[in-house]
Amino acid sequence: MRNILLRVFINMASLWFVDKIFQDVWFQDTNALIITAIVFGLLNAFIKPVLVIFTLPINLLSLGLFTVVINAVILKMADYWVDSFVVNGFGTAILASLFISVISIVLSSILKD
């Protein structure tokens, strides 16, 4: 249970940071941030592995760089399912997903037991 709460907190912090950096990413309120963090985590847990398997050949050819596109698709899916969360444009989603990945890695390493 603690790991789940930690992952939700890391997702919330990453999404909040991206909201502050990019004008085209925004949340209506704090509840939207919490809901988006949960939805984003669920999408990463269940949908992302399926997308990675389906796109394995192109991912191998691009030496793993296509994973950035998959992360952007997951972010846009969260945008679609959470009404009070907006990401304008796929280019913004790609850049935001890069920032989310880096911030998540840094926070995970800092908060590691």
Other beta carbons within 10 angstroms of residue 38's beta carbon come to 17
Average pLDDT estimate for 60-68? 95
Closest CA to 55 of 70, 72, 75: 70
pLDDT at 3: 86
Average pLDDT estimate for 31-38? 96
Average pLDDT estimate for 58-66? 95
Residue 85: is its pLDDT beyond 70?
yes
